[in-house]
Amino acid sequence: MEFVKKAIYTMAYGLHNMQRDMCNSTHGLCAAMTPINGSVLLQYLMNVTFSWNNETVRFDANGDSPGRYDIMNYQRMNATRYDYVKVGSWINGVLKLDRLFQWGKITEGNSPPESVCSKPCARGEVKNIVSEMVQCCWKCVKCKENAYVSNETTCQECPPGYWPNDNLTGCDEISVEYIHWWDSTAVVSLTIACLGFVATFVVMIVFIRHNNTPVVKASTRELSYIIMVGMYLCYATTIVLLARPTQTSCFLTRVLPGLSFSMIYAALVTKTNRIARILAGSKKKIITKKPRFMSATAQVVITFILISIEGTIIAAMLIFEPADSKLVYPAIDSVKLTCNTTTLGIIAPLGFDFFLIAMCTVYAVKTRNLPENFNEAKFIGFTMYTTLVIWMAFVPIYFGSSSSVITMCLCISFSALVALLLLYVPKVYIIIFRPERNNRSAFTTTKDVRCHIGYLASGNVGVSRNSSQTTSDFSIESPR
């Protein structure tokens, strides 16, 4: 009833003061108070001050009266009994303690507990207010890895390519990742490409200096030089693939791999096809018609036609998918700069190269029984078998590895090196170390067939097979 009595006296003093000021010492309600203005009455109530049981009753700016509270402490009275005990009071802002407190178990001493609804949130956390009615209580929620603290109640995610700063007050740009020249894998790839380039250059110099010798002529000189140029492009592809992705470098990465392979394998297809046709013609008892397109010029034209098909495919893909660089986000905290090459952009140009490799392999198998002293077809076969193994390993590694660029660099360089070692090193060995074998007689053999390939290419038809003949001039030299 204490609070009810104070409220009644407050209302009485407020009305009394209002009537005294507005009615000029008259009794009862006057015209100025009829009807009573509630806003004016509220101002009088806020300004009421009176004494009550040695206590001064008044109100602050918020309309709150001074509080008076008894402080009770739940204490252990004995081994089996607990009860509330008055240990002090709080009157009008004055705290008075009369007895000691008991905090928790007696064995824990008299240290007070921490009295707080919610502790301040740690770094990287924001407040989740439990109830709008109780703003002083909250739960701390940790922001996501890629989010910073916008204010004490909000996490703000960083846009792609950005990451929260150390203070979690904003976002900083993530360093863009791409292959650098000094990376260990890039150094290995460049070393292999440079070694291949030097080796191919040495072989080309040897061939040019011995351009008119039987070993060089028998390998179809023009096609051999086209293959070497294709090898140079293979090694140059490594440099382009390892360069920082730009529109120019990405354009070259779409052009060079397919073009370099097409130059190598288009020439090999043309060469093995010619050998197969010659062998097919030599098996006839009577040769009645000159084989067509057997000259060196025809072989070069056929090779460039095959290369132009590859060039058309590459051009079409570049029109369909223009080359450029782009940023990719493999994870929320990383950014990589790559070329915008799709799987189709890789498979389409290399698909025709795979077809040429398959055709080379087929012709190499068909011509595997060439005379032992002219075994270039066998070397071509070994080259194709090894190349197929390399590419069979390349495909799953390329599409299943994060180092796809390095994988392609090594695969392209190894394909060119295999062709160089198996096709040209044996010839260079004969030219340099066994010059006595670098003559026309080394490219003839003894068989039951009297068939000079030069006759087939030059138009000397009508040669008949004579089983009693034991010697024949069998050479696969480009006719001049």
Do 39 and 164 lie in one domain? The reply is no
Q: What is the pLDDT of residue 60?
A: 82
Confidence of residue 84 (pLDDT cuts 50, 70, 90): very high
Residue 238 falls in which region: left (phi positive, over 0), alpha (psi -120 to 50) or beta: alpha
CA neighbor of 382 nearest in space, from 423, 416, 436, 434: 423
Report the chain's mean pLDDT, rounded to a whole number.
79
Select from 154, 174, 194 the last residue of a domain. 174
Confidence check: pLDDT of 171 > 60: yes
Do 77 and 142 lie in one domain? The reply is no
**Residue 416 to residue 409: CA distance in whole angstroms:** 11
Residue 467 lies in a domain: no
User: CA 312 → CA 247, 267, 318, 319, 406, distances in Å?
Assistant: 20, 17, 10, 11, 27
Confidence check: pLDDT of 108 > 70: no
The more confident residue out of 285 and 39 is: 39
Percent of the chain with pLDDT over 70: 83
Mean pLDDT to the nearest integer, 332-361:
84
Report residue 162 as tokens. 């950005």
Among the ranges given (90-94, 108-112, 117-121, 441-445), the one the predictor scored with the smallest mean pLDDT: 441-445
Q: Contact at 8 Å (CB) between 408 and 188?
A: no
Mean pLDDT to the nearest integer, 149-170:
86
Do 335 and 214 lie in one domain? The reply is yes
Residue 453 lies in a domain: no
Among the ranges given (191-195, 282-286, 327-331), the one the predictor scored with the smallest mean pLDDT: 282-286
Cross-strand pairs, 173: 162
Residue 136 lies in a domain: yes
Q: What is the pLDDT of residue 211?
A: 83
CA neighbor of 269 nearest in space, from 237, 309, 238: 309
What CATH number corresponds to the domain at position 149? 2.10.50.30
The predicted-structure confidence for 219-267, as pLDDT tens digits, reads as follows: 778 888 898 999 999 999 888 888 888 888 889 888 888 898 889 988 8
Mean pLDDT to the nearest integer, 73-78:
87
Number of folded domains that form the chain: 4
Q: What is the pLDDT of residue 465?
A: 38
Confidence check: pLDDT of 286 > 90: no
Confidence of residue 462 (pLDDT cuts 50, 70, 90): very low
Do 251 and 164 lie in one domain? The reply is no
Residue 225 lies in a domain: yes
Q: What is the pLDDT of residue 128?
A: 84
Confidence check: pLDDT of 82 > 80: yes
Residue 459 lies in a domain: no
Q: Which long-range contacts (CB under 8 A, 24 or more apart) does 367-370 make?
A: 367/272, 367/275, 367/276, 367/279, 370/275, 370/279, 370/476
Do 345 and 408 lie in one domain? The reply is yes
Select from 16, 35, 57 the last residue of a domain. 57
Do 343 and 395 lie in one domain? The reply is yes
Do 213 and 246 lie in one domain? The reply is yes
Q: What is the pLDDT of residue 11?
A: 92
Residue 13 lies in a domain: yes
Q: What is the pLDDT of residue 448?
A: 38
Confidence check: pLDDT of 475 > 50: no
Do 78 and 27 lie in one domain? The reply is no
Do 149 and 223 lie in one domain? The reply is no
Report the length, in residues, of the chain.
Answer: 480
Report residue 39 as tokens. 């806003």
Amino acid at 44: Y
The more confident residue out of 132 and 450 is: 132
Q: What is the pLDDT of residue 473?
A: 35
Do 224 and 326 lie in one domain? The reply is yes
Do 24 and 146 lie in one domain? The reply is no
**Strand pairing report for 82-91 and 68-76:** antiparallel
Confidence check: pLDDT of 174 > 90: no
Confidence of residue 179 (pLDDT cuts 50, 70, 90): confident
**Residue 466 to residue 449: CA distance in whole angstroms:** 7
Mean pLDDT to the nearest integer, 315-341:
85
Confidence check: pLDDT of 386 > 80: yes
User: What is the rounded (10 degree) CA torsion for 337, 339, 341, 343?
Assistant: -40
Confidence of residue 87 (pLDDT cuts 50, 70, 90): very high
Do 138 and 51 lie in one domain? The reply is no
Residue 468 lies in a domain: no
What would the 3-class secondary structure string for the chain be?
Answer: CHHHHHHHHHHHHHHHHHHHHHCCCCCCCCHHHCCCCHHHHHHHHHCCCEECCCCEECCCCCCCCCCEEEEEEEEECCCCCEEEEEEEEEECCEEEECCCCCCCCHHHCCCCCCCCCCCCCCCCEEEEEEECCEEEEEEEEECCCCEEEEECCEEEECCCCEEECCCCCCEEECCEECCCCCCHHHHHHHHHHHHHHHHHHHHHHHHHHCCCCHHHHHCCHHHHHHHHHHHHHHHHHHHHHHCCCCHHHHHHHHHHHHHHHHHHHHHHHHHHHHHHHHHHHHCCCECCCCCCCCCHHHHHHHHHHHHHHHHHHHHHHHHHCCCCEEEEEEECCEEEEEECCCHHHHHHHHHHHHHHHHHHHHHHHHCCCCCCCCCHHHHHHHHHHHHHHHHHHHHHHHHHCCCHHHHHHHHHHHHHHHHHHHHHHHHHHHHHHCHHHCCHHHHCECCCCCCCHHHHHHCCCCCECCCCCCCECCCCCCCC
CA neighbor of 390 nearest in space, from 364, 422, 344: 422
Confidence check: pLDDT of 474 > 50: no
Confidence of residue 281 (pLDDT cuts 50, 70, 90): low
The predicted-structure confidence for 408-459, as pLDDT tens digits, reads as follows: 888 888 889 988 888 888 888 888 888 777 676 555 544 433 333 333 433 3
The predicted-structure confidence for 359-379, as pLDDT tens digits, reads as follows: 888 877 777 666 544 567 778
Q: What is the pLDDT of residue 289?
A: 57
Q: What is the pLDDT of residue 111?
A: 66
User: Could you list the residue range(s) of the whole structural domain that residue 162 is in?
Assistant: 125-174
Q: Contact at 8 Å (CB) between 407 and 394?
A: yes
Q: What is the pLDDT of residue 412?
A: 87
The predicted-structure confidence for 305-321, as pLDDT tens digits, reads as follows: 989 998 999 899 888 88
Residue 73 lies in a domain: yes
**Residue 418 to residue 390: CA distance in whole angstroms:** 10
